[in-house]
Structure 1
């Protein structure tokens, strides 16, 4: 009788252990699987605009036309020269000043009889809009022109126009500019009013 009781007790103790072993082998007590944390999202880089502040200098090449009623003589030809200036970037507005000088072979079809433009020097004010790598701007100022041929002299006038600059890499800029000039009573000659239009392509280097 005592032997039977001992066997029963042993069976009651062993049964839960067998059941636990079976559950463990079936994966019932397996370790939980860790879920990896989501990878952080890196924001896309935001392109930075150009900083237009600083000194610059360069050259220009283009085309020009003269128009004067007194001499009944319209002339055209190439212009080429150099420029230097300083810009200050205020955020969305860019302000600055520039001086430039153009030599010219603008002359009439009959050299010596017509008006020939030898050179133009300008003092220029610039107001532009910072559009990132592009800067459209307006320009205005005072110009002095030197002529030969029918009028061998010089005169002072004013000009205004539009331009566009493109910042290529922070050190080199490409641009274009169209200016309209007006010289009244050129070389102190009453009634000799001369209009000039120039269109140039420009390359500048920022310092």
Structure 2
């Protein structure tokens, strides 16, 4: 009789002793954050700041030299065509570069075009355009600049970069003084 009682009782223990899961209270995990795109679509507006070094030399009626810190604000728009990126922008830098105690370069405004190669999260580019420099004694004068730079995305919206520019201002403010300026700057941009 004990064997038959055990045999009859075994099926009662065959099921799980855990409570069934109620699917009505199941909360799905949040979707993972969208990773930064490896193809680095550069299309869109950007704004930010730059800071670096400026070296100024003159020749003509006066030979004056000076170098110091230069920095300011940047803004622009880029369009990514796949492998190539074209864009335009504006930079405004403030400086206090003394030219042998005779004058001081106070600011540089640039309207620029740039074109480069899309490296995914990197952008290698050439740039150039119109520039206007303002000095304390000589007022302001128009010129041009040429240069190159590299920008790298560290997040989907933040990029860091560097840019080297050569500026030429001939006959600055009708003074018979030609001004050459070279700037090397680090750039931080927020891409919208």
What TM-score, normalized to structure 2?
Answer: 0.78
* Contact kept? 2:129, 2:144, Cα under 8 Å: yes
Give the one of 137, 146, 150 matched to 2:134.
146
The aligned residue for residue 107 of structure 1 is: 98
1:131 has 2:122 as partner: no
Distance 2:38 2:51 in 1: 30
What's the secondary structure of 2:93's corresponding residue?
Answer: strand
The aligned residue for residue 30 of structure 1 is: none
Distance 2:170 2:103 in 1: 15
* Contact kept? 2:58, 2:178, Cα under 8 Å: yes
Instruction: Report how far residue 192 of structure 1 moved.
Output: 1.2
Which blocks of at least 5 consecutive residues in structure 1 are unaligned? 1-46
The aligned residue for residue 52 of structure 1 is: 42
Instruction: Report how far residue 171 of structure 1 moved.
Output: 0.3
| Alignment of structure 1 residues 128-207 onto 2, 5 Å | 128-148=116-136, 151-189=137-175, 191-207=176-192
Instruction: Report how far residue 115 of structure 1 moved.
Output: 2.4
Distance 2:149 2:140 in 1: 26
The aligned residue for residue 91 of structure 1 is: 82
Task: Say which structure is richer in strand.
Answer: 2
1:77 has 2:85 as partner: no
Q: Deviations over 1:158-199 (max 9, x none)?
A: 00000000011110000000000000111022x311100001
What TM-score, normalized to structure 1?
Answer: 0.73
Distance 2:173 2:141 in 1: 5
What is the root-mean-square deviation in Å for CA atoms of aligned residues? 1.1
Instruction: Report how far residue 95 of structure 1 moved.
Output: 0.2
What's the secondary structure of 1:49's corresponding residue?
Answer: coil
Distance 2:100 2:112 in 1: 31
Q: Deviations over 1:129-152 (max 9, x none)?
A: 00111111000000000001xx33
What's the secondary structure of 1:69's corresponding residue?
Answer: strand
Instruction: Report how far residue 73 of structure 1 moved.
Output: 1.2
Distance 1:161 1:126 in 2: 9
1:67 has 2:44 as partner: no
* Contact kept? 1:51, 1:170, Cα under 8 Å: no
